[in-house]
Amino acid sequence: MKRLIIFKRLIIFLILVPLWAAQARQTADGFSVSEVPDSVFRLMTGRSYKKGCPVARKDLRYVQVLHYNAAGRELQGEIVCHKDIADDLVEIFRELHRSRYPIERIRLIDRYGADDTRSMKANNSSAFNYRVVAGTKVLSNHSYGKAIDINPLYNPFVKRNGKVEPAEARRYANRTARFKYKITRGDLCCRLFKQHGFTWGGDWRYSKDYQHFEKK
């Protein structure tokens, strides 16, 4: 009988060890996808996740990635996005990390009160946020977690009427100038997103949203 118990324990041990190892592997290299943890959802509630939100919590994912800033410092980033693009984002950010593509910060927009202007001014890259397109009543694709903005201060939203969002980014609306964090049609960031089926706001015909990538 005692032998049987020891045997059972051994079996449980042999099953659990690879599971623990797999979990550790998922986070040890700085890249992971999980359902939105309670602590994160508490932070989102009433901020990016408000009443009337068109996407259910179970369809959102919490993604962790590593990235480098322009000074070459490696940083941990966190993103909330729709489950349909979570794997795309991990693959894209793995490539960007491998190539040391500079991204200044990737923090949840809730850490900026889910205020898009504040987040853009801080040059914070982010995805999910239940909100309308700036200056309109149209629901943004960020509301579904299917759009992401990269280095937004240096890649502003330039409207058809010439207005620049955020206003502090006016000088970066000149896309022939040279400056750090600039996204161009041929650069790695743009190519990777397009390879994964995203469209780029810099290709839009009238307004140009140089920070914006989305997948429908």
Residue 156-195 contact track with Zn ion, rule CB under 5 A, x = bound: ----------------------------------------
Read off the tokens for 189: 């960031």
Q: State how far the Cα of 153 lies from the Cα of 31, in Å rounded to an integer.
A: 25
Shortest distance in whole angstroms from residue 212 CB to Zn ion: 4
Q: Is the peptide bond before 156 cis (omega within 30 degrees of 0)?
A: no
Pairing mode, strands 199-200 and 60-68: unpaired
| Interface residue with Zn ion, options 149, 173, 200, 215 (CB under 5 A) | 149
Window contacting Zn ion (CB under 5 A); options: 87-95, 100-108, 173-181, 205-213: 205-213
**Of the two residues 86 and 209, which places its CB atom closer to Zn ion in the complex?**
209
**Of the two residues 65 and 148, which places its CB atom closer to Zn ion in the complex?**
148
Shortest distance in whole angstroms from residue 37 CB to Zn ion: 24
Torsion sign (Cα): 111, 117, 119, 122: negative
The answer to whether the beta carbons of residues 202 and 189 sit under 8 Å apart is no
Report the residue closest to Zn ion, judged by CB.
Answer: 212
Q: Does 212 bind Zn ion (CB under 5 A)?
A: yes
Read off the tokens for 121: 């001014």
Q: State how far the Cα of 147 lies from the Cα of 132, in Å rounded to an integer.
A: 13
Residues that bind Zn ion (CB under 5 A): 147, 149, 212
